[in-house]
Amino acid sequence: MLFQIFSKKKTIKLGLYGPANSGKSTLANKISKDWLGEKMSSVSHIPHETREVIVKEKIVIKNKSRELTFNLVDTPGIATRIDYEDFMKYKMTKEKSKQRAKEATRGVIEAIKWLDDMDVVIVVLDSTENPYSQVNITIIGNLVARMIPIIVVGNKIDLKKANLKRVESAFPQYDVVGISALRGRNMEELYESLFKAVR
């Protein structure tokens, strides 16, 4: 059935979802750079850098036998709490922190609204963090309820604190792909998972 859906569609919407600071925009940049030669999102160590949905159209990825055209949708990180004072810890002014918090709340709402439009989603998790967070469970639960194919990625495997096994044991029903979007590690496996998800 999925094959029929995708074969009728010319361009697939591939969404990047996950909590704040899991590396969605770094991954978006890596995919865009690999196949279009250009970046698409700004990145920062300060959470909620992406506060609007960003779309890069017509990315064509290829393997030996197939090619896949999709619009890549980088979404703001989903969160259940946003406190402007958290941004002030990164030496932002009070005004800028308040503005960022306001935009971040709108971003979360927008990201959730976009869920219905997705054809495939890469759930980007930070493999150095506890995977059993409710945000992760809520994102995956909503994708399952909408019958949207999911690829679970454990990002930041280049860091010492990374624990991919923990991500795998939290989501045993998925083949978790461990990557480092920043260093470009294991991207081939991710692209192959994408071809499998979009049969």
Partner 1 sequence: MGLILRFVPYGDIEILELDEKIKYLLDIVKDKNIVLMGGRLKPEEEAALIQKTMEGISKKFKGVELCTIFPEEKNLDLFRKIKKNFASMVLGNREGLTIIGPASIIKEIKRDPNKIQLFTVSTRR
Which range, of 6-14, 130-138, 156-164, 182-190, touches partner 1 by CB under 8 A?
130-138
Binding piece for partner 1, criterion CB under 8 A, among 58-66, 117-125, 127-135, 154-162? 127-135
By CB under 8 A, residue 163 contacts partner 1: no
Site track for partner 1 across 82-111, x = CB under 8 A: xx-----------------x---xx-xx--
Neighbours of 21 (CB within 10 A): 21
The CA-to-CA distance between both ends of the chain, in Å, stands at: 10
Nearer residue to partner 1 within complex by CB, 37 or 172: 172
60 binds partner 1 (CB under 8 A): no
Q: Does 81 bind partner 1 (CB under 8 A)?
A: yes
Taking the complex as a whole, how short is the minimal distance between the CB of residue 11 and partner 1, in angstroms?
25
State in angstroms the smallest separation of the CB of 3 from partner 1.
25
The residue from 42, 63, 69, 80 that contacts partner 1 (CB under 8 A) is: 80
Residue 68: beta bridge partners?
61
With beta carbons less than 8 A apart as the criterion, state whether 26 and 42 touch: no
Q: Smallest gap, in angstroms, from Cβ of residue 157 to partner 1?
A: 21
- Chain-centroid distance of CA 118 in Å reads 12
Stretch binding partner 1 (CB under 8 A), from 10-18, 40-48, 79-87, 150-158: 79-87
The token duo for 25 is: 């925009």
How far apart (Å, rounded) are the C-alpha atoms in residues 50 and 24? 9
Q: Is 195 helix (H, G, I), strand (E, B) or coil?
A: helix
Q: Is 53 in the site for partner 1 (CB under 8 A)?
A: no
Going by C-alpha positions, the residue among 118, 108, 58, 50 that lies closest to residue 81 is: 108
Stretch that binds partner 1, among 8-16, 75-83, 120-128, 176-184 (CB under 8 A): 75-83
Contact between 165 and partner 1 by CB under 8 A: the answer reads no
Would you call 85 exposed, middle or buried from its count of C-beta atoms within 10 A (0-12, 13-18, 19+)? Answer: exposed
Q: Which of 141, 165, 184, 196 binds partner 1 (CB under 8 A)?
A: 141
Q: Which residues lie below 8 Å from residue 96, measured CB to CB, with a gap of 6+?
A: 87
Element (H, E) at 4: helix 2-8
